[in-house]
Amino acid sequence: MFSYCSDPKALAEAIWVQLPWLDSFWLTSWISGFLNSLPWFSCYLTSAKHVDFYWSFVTVLALLAVTAPAALAMGFMGATAARSHVGPVRWFGKAYIWMVRGIPDIIFFLFFVIALDQGIEYVKNLFVCDGGAWPWQGLEFRVCQEAKVPLGSSAPIWHKAYGFFLAVLTFALVFGAFTANVIYGAMGAVPRAQLETAEAYGMSRKQVFRRILVPQMWVYALPGLGNLWMILIKATPLLFLLGVQDIVYYARELGGSKTQVYEYPHGDWRLYYFLGLLVFYLVFTRVSEIGFSRLTRRLSHGQATAAGEAMRKAAA
C-alpha cells in the first residue's frame, strides 16, 4: 500500500522517533514505543490479506442486503398462504411456518446447504446425464461430471458465487419462515372492526387486503421484524459454517500466530480480532435498534394504537 512497506522486517526494528525525555520514564516510554510501531501497523493493516478481510465485511452486508428483502418476500407469501381460503394452500403456508418451530435452526442451515446442492445436481443429472441414475449410492452422492454445479472446470469465482447463492437461499428459506410467523400474527392483530367497516363499504376481499389490511399491518409487525433483523445480524457468523469466506474465516486466518517465514510475524492475535468482530456486531445491533425505534415512531403516526393516539394528543 505505502511505499515504505516493501521491507516489513526492517520496518519492525527501525526507530523513527526518539524522544529521550520520554524514554527515561517507564510510564511514558510506551508512547515512543507506540509511535515507533505505527509504521509497521500501517503496513500490516493494509496488507493484501487485510484488504480481503475488509471486503469480507462487505460480503456480510451484501448477504444482509439480499437476504432481508428475500426473507420479507417469502414471509409475506407464507403468511398470505397461511390465511388463504383454499385448503391445500393454507396447509402449505402453515406447514412452512411450523417447520421452523421446535428445531434448532443451525440444523436447517447445515441441512439445506447440502440438500439444496444435491437437489440441484440431481435435477440437472436427470437432464444432462445418460440414464440419469439414482445418485445416492452407498456412501457416495454420485452424478456424472456434466451435472456438477458449478462445473469442475469453472473459474473459482463461480464456485464462490455459487456458495454465496446457496447461503443466501438457505438464509432466506429459514428467515422467511420466521418472518411469515411475524406477519401472520400482525395480520391477525389488525382490528376486526377495520376490516368489517371496509367490507360494509362494499370493498371486495382483494381490496380489503390491499387497502386496509396490508397498510395497517406493518405497525404491528414492526417489533417482530425488528427482532428478526437483530437475529439475522447475529446469525451472519454462521456463513462461516456454510463455507463462505466471511469475517469469522478471516479473523481466524489473520489472527493465528505467524512465524518468521511470514512477512508480518506476530503471536496469536485471534483474541484481538474476535474482540474487533464483537465490537462490530455491538455497534451494528445498537445502530439498528435506534433506527428501528425511529421507524416505529414514524409508522405509529395516525394508527389506531396507543402510540399513535399519544402522538395525536401531543400534536393537538
Partner 1 sequence: MSMTCWETVQAYGLRSIGIGENLLPKTDFTLCQQFTLIGSGLIWNLYFGVLALAFGFFLANAIALARNARNPWVRKPADWFVFVFRGSPLFIQFFLAYEALVLLPKAGIDFLGLHINTSWTTRAWAGALFVLFLNTAAYAAEIFYGALKSIPKGDLEAAEAYGITGWKKFTRIEWPTMMRLGWPAYTNEAIFLFHATTLVYFSSFPAFAQKGDALYYANYFADKTFNPFIPYPIVGFYFICLTLIVTFVYGRVNRRLNRHLPSNERSRIRLRPQLIR
Q: Does 100 bind partner 1 (CB under 8 A)?
A: yes
Q: Does 92 bind partner 1 (CB under 8 A)?
A: no
Instruction: Quote the CA–CA distance of 210 and 204 in Å, as a whole number.
Output: 10
Q: Which of 66, 277, 295, 311 binds partner 1 (CB under 8 A)?
A: 277
Question: DSSP states of 246-310 as a string?
Answer: -HHHHHHHHHS-B-TTSSS-B---HHHHHHHHHHHHHHHHHHHHHHHHHHHHHHHTT-SSHHHHH
User: 305 near 219, Cβ under 8 Å?
Assistant: yes
Contact set for partner 1, span 174-203 (CB under 8 A): 177-178, 181
The residues that bridge with 137 in the sheet, in sequence order, are 140
User: 125 near 147, Cβ under 8 Å?
Assistant: yes
Question: Which three cell numbers mark 233?
Answer: 445480524
Q: How far is the CB of 260 from partner 1 (least distance, A)?
A: 21
Question: Which three cell numbers mark 143?
Answer: 452424478
Q: How far is the CB of 23 from partner 1 (least distance, A)?
A: 29
Q: Does 136 bind partner 1 (CB under 8 A)?
A: yes
Question: Scanning the structure block, which residue is given the C-alpha cell 441441512?
Answer: 111
Instruction: Quote the CA–CA distance of 310 and 130 in Å, as a whole number.
Output: 69
Question: Which three cell numbers mark 117?
Answer: 446442492
Q: Does 221 bind partner 1 (CB under 8 A)?
A: no
User: 239 near 63, Cβ under 8 Å?
Assistant: yes
Q: Does 235 bind partner 1 (CB under 8 A)?
A: yes
Q: Which is nearer to partner 1, 258 or 270 (CB)?
A: 270
The residues that bridge with 16 in the sheet, in sequence order, are none
Q: Which of 39, 84, 270, 295 binds partner 1 (CB under 8 A)?
A: 270
**Mask: binding to partner 1, 279-308, rule CB under 8 A, as x and -?**
--xx--xx----------------------
Q: Does 118 bind partner 1 (CB under 8 A)?
A: yes
Q: Which is nearer to partner 1, 38 or 287 (CB)?
A: 287
- Residues in touch with partner 1 (CB under 8 A): 97, 100-107, 110-111, 114-115, 118, 136, 139-141, 177-178, 181, 228, 231, 233-238, 240-241, 248, 251, 255, 268, 270-271, 274-275, 277-278, 281-282, 285-286
